[in-house]
């Protein structure tokens, strides 16, 4: 009889065990659902900070590690009212307040944008030859350049074919020039084009003293006029990129044209 009673008790216990487990799990779920997201004591304080100089959103990202991280603590911004609201322990609020005082300061003034002056570009096209009767018809501004050319090149005379003067913006300026030109004795006529792009200062500081010419392309097509019939002399091109100082005269390049040579001299002047 005692054995039967023990077996019956064991069977009842096994049957009631799942019900007890389910009831315990249900009680834990209800406890979690009813548990408050706030702390269960009066240790938190709250404060609103007015932000005057910086963006509240940016400051909150910096201040976030200064909070306690305790459940119920708040650190949030309002961009419309430019405020930061803090709910935390008093010592954390005090730390955040000190950090805001250091961070919420006026931004340093931006340096003024440089004022770029205009720049004038002078291009001189010289025709060099061994014709001594051609004479020298170059402007005085090129006297020193021609002396250097005479010491370097094997030509007896240098004549100014044409000069080109353009004014443009110093900040990414461009020059385009086209035209026709003749030698003083009418022995040669030509068509030319000059294109200079990306005219920029070498340094964007207040003192501009050097100019970068990103692209330079000079093209010329010549014809020798013999009165009876013109003889084409072909064409020539000078292409390069260079950097020049303000007021400096530079021989950009030379190119052959039958028995003559075309020489391109460049000078720039910054209009301060």
Residue 207 is part of which domain span? Answer: 118-271
| 254 and 145 fall within a common domain | yes
In the chain, the number of structural domains is: 2
**C-alpha closest to that of 162 among 188, 180, 150:** 180
| 181 and 209 fall within a common domain | yes
What local confidence, expressed as pLDDT, does residue 89 receive?
93
Question: In this model, does residue 34 exceed pLDDT 80?
Answer: no
pLDDT band (50, 70, 90) for residue 65: very high
Q: Percentage of residues in the chain with pLDDT exceeding 90?
A: 37
Among 117-121, 142-146, 180-184, 189-193, the range scoring the smallest mean pLDDT is 180-184
Of 33-37, 67-71, 184-188, give the range with the top mean pLDDT.
67-71
Burial class (CB in 10 A: 0-12, 13-18, 19+), 107: exposed
What local confidence, expressed as pLDDT, does residue 8 receive?
47
Residues 6+ apart with CB under 8 A from 44: 38, 72, 73, 87, 88, 89
| 211 and 162 fall within a common domain | yes
What local confidence, expressed as pLDDT, does residue 187 receive?
72
| 173 and 250 fall within a common domain | yes
What local confidence, expressed as pLDDT, does residue 6 receive?
47
| 59 and 91 fall within a common domain | yes
> Bigger pLDDT: 260 or 215?
215
Sheet containing 83-88, strands listed edge to edge, beginning at the edge strand earlier in sequence = 45-50, 83-88, 74-78
* CATH number for the domain harbouring residue 64: 3.30.1370.120
11 in any annotated domain = no
Among 83-87, 94-98, 185-189, 201-205, the range scoring the smallest mean pLDDT is 201-205
Question: In this model, does residue 2 exceed pLDDT 50?
Answer: no
| 209 and 152 fall within a common domain | yes
| 49 and 175 fall within a common domain | no
pTM of the model: 0.58
pLDDT band (50, 70, 90) for residue 155: confident
| 73 and 203 fall within a common domain | no
């Amino acid at each position: 009889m005692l054995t039967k009673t023990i077996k019956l008790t064991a069977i009842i216990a096994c049957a009631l065990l799942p019900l007890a487990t389910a009831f315990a799990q249900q009680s834990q779920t209800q406890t979690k659902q009813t548990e408050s997201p706030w702390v269960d004591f009066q240790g938190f304080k709250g404060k609103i900070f007015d932000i005057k100089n910086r963006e509240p959103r940016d400051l909150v990202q910096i201040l976030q590690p200064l909070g306690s991280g305790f459940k119920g603590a708040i650190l949030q911004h309002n961009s419309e009212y430019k405020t930061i609201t803090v709910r935390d322990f008093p010592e954390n609020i005090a730390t955040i307040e000190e950090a805001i005082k250091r961070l919420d300061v006026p931004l340093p003034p931006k340096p003024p944008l440089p004022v770029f002056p205009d720049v004038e570009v002078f291009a001189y096209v010289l025709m060099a030859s061994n014709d001594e009767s051609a004479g020298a018809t170059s402007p005085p501004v090129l006297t020193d350049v021609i002396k250097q050319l005479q010491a370097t090149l094997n030509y007896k005379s240098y004549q100014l074919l044409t000069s080109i003067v353009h004014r443009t913006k110093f900040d990414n300026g461009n020059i385009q020039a086209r035209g026709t030109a003749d030698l003083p004795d009418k022995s040669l006529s030509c068509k030319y084009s000059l294109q200079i792009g990306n005219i920029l200062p070498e340094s964007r500081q207040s003192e501009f003293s050097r100019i970068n010419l990103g692209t330079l392309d000079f093209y010329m097509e010549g014809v020798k006029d013999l009165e009876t019939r013109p003889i084409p002399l072909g064409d020539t091109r000078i292409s390069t990129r260079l950097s020049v100082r303000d007021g400096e005269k530079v021989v950009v390049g030379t190119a052959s044209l039958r028995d003559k040579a075309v020489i391109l001299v460049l000078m720039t002047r910054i209009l301060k």
